[in-house]
Amino acid sequence: MKRMLMLASVALMIDQFNMPNIRLLQEMGYEVDVACNFEKGNTCSDEKIEKLKSTLNEIHVRFYQVDFARDITQVFQNIKAFRQVNQILRKNQYTFIHCHSPIGGVAGRVLGKLNKTKVIYTAHGFHFYKGAPLKNWLIYYPVEWICSWMTDTLITINAEDYIQAKNKFHAKRVRYIPGVGVEVEKFMQPNISMSGKAFYNIMPCLIHNVNGVVGGVKVVTRYPERIPSLDSKILLFNADSGEFLALMDGNWITAMRTGAVAAHSVIHFAKTDWNTVGIIGLGNVARASMLMLASKTLDKLLTVKFAYFIDSLPFA
* Whether the Cβ atoms of residue 186 and residue 165 lie closer than 8 Å to each other: no
Count Cα neighbours of 263 within 13 Å in the Cβ-side half-sphere: 19
Q: In sequence order, which residues have a C-beta less than 8 Å from that of residue 170 and are 6 or more positions away?
A: 145, 148, 149, 151
Q: Which amino acid is at 118?
A: K
* Whether the Cβ atoms of residue 12 and residue 40 lie closer than 8 Å to each other: no
CB-CB neighbours of 203 under 10 Å: 16
**Ramachandran assignment for 196, one of left (phi > 0), alpha (psi -120 to 50 degrees), beta (any other):** left
pLDDT digits over 23-45, tens only? 999 999 999 999 999 998 877 78
pLDDT digits over 141-187, tens only? 999 999 999 999 999 998 899 999 999 999 999 999 987 666 666 66
Q: pLDDT by residue for the chain (316 residues), tens digit each?
A: 799 999 999 998 999 889 999 999 999 999 999 999 999 887 778 888 999 999 999 999 999 999 999 888 899 999 999 999 999 999 998 999 999 988 999 999 999 999 999 999 999 999 999 999 999 999 999 999 999 999 999 999 988 999 999 999 999 999 999 876 666 666 666 788 887 789 999 888 888 876 778 999 999 999 988 888 889 999 999 988 889 999 999 999 999 999 999 989 888 888 878 889 888 887 888 889 999 998 988 888 989 888 876 555 554 4
Q: Which residues is 179 bridged to in the sheet?
A: none
Burial of 190 (0-12, 13-18, 19+ CB in 10 A): exposed
Tell me the backbone φ, ψ of residue 116, rounded to 5 degrees: 55, 45
Rounded Cα–Cα distance for residues 94 and 164 (Å): 29
How high is the pLDDT of residue 316?
43
User: Mind listing the domains of the chain with CATH numbers?
Assistant: 2-176 (3.40.50.2000), 184-242 (3.10.450), 253-307 (no CATH)
